[in-house]
Amino acid sequence: GCPRPVMAAIPPPSAPGGPEPNPPPLQYSLLLQHLVGEQRRPRAWDPAALGGIPSPPKSEEQKMVERAMESCAFKAVLACVGGFVLGGAFGVFTAGIDTNVGFDPKDPYRTPTAKEVLKDMGQRGISYAKNFAIVGAMFSCTECVVESYRGKSDWKNSVISGCITGGAIGFRAGLKAGVIGCGGFAAFSAAIDYYLR
């Protein structure tokens, strides 16, 4: 086994009024036991023990702003704006790499002008932006309502709201398209939620 540390003998206390005795020498192995050995005590991080970070009480205006930012309407508007920007960028990008932009079937060998290409890119960007904005607002609002109804924040909210959103978009083309849209959007939402968490 390991050799046990030998404690130094403690000298007898001095007489009252006399000089203070020297402290006993501390054994290096005993010190290691308390620093990294079995006798080491883990310290719990408690900000309150150090005084914590002082935080002033929130005013009524701050509470009102927080409630507004956590509301379903705000989340839906935020998703709508984000979807519009993302959809517009995606539409311009796809139009930029599409070889049929500005194509005229009457004159297939004619090279389109820059103005025609930019006009086509703008039209496609606006179209994509509108679609992405509608889908983003529908999904965000549905997820917020489902989360409020269930009282939980987990992956099921994304799947349920994805199915509702995909089904609502697909049902315009028929029952079969609605079922496919529900399943596809739910699977996509579950994959995104799994990746983000």
CA atoms within 13 A of residue 21's CA, in its CB half-sphere = 11
The Cα 9–Cα 24 span in angstroms is 7
Pick from 80, 76, 57: which is nearest to 68 by CA?
76
pLDDT (tens digit, 9 = 90+) per residue, 51-87?
556 667 777 788 888 887 888 888 889 999 999 999 9
Q: How far is CA 32 from CA 5, 61, 113, 139, in A?
A: 11, 55, 79, 58
The Cα 183–Cα 65 span in angstroms is 36
pLDDT (tens digit, 9 = 90+) per residue, 88-138?
999 888 887 777 766 667 777 777 777 877 888 888 899 999 999 999 999
Q: Does the predicted TM-score (pTM) go above 0.75?
A: no
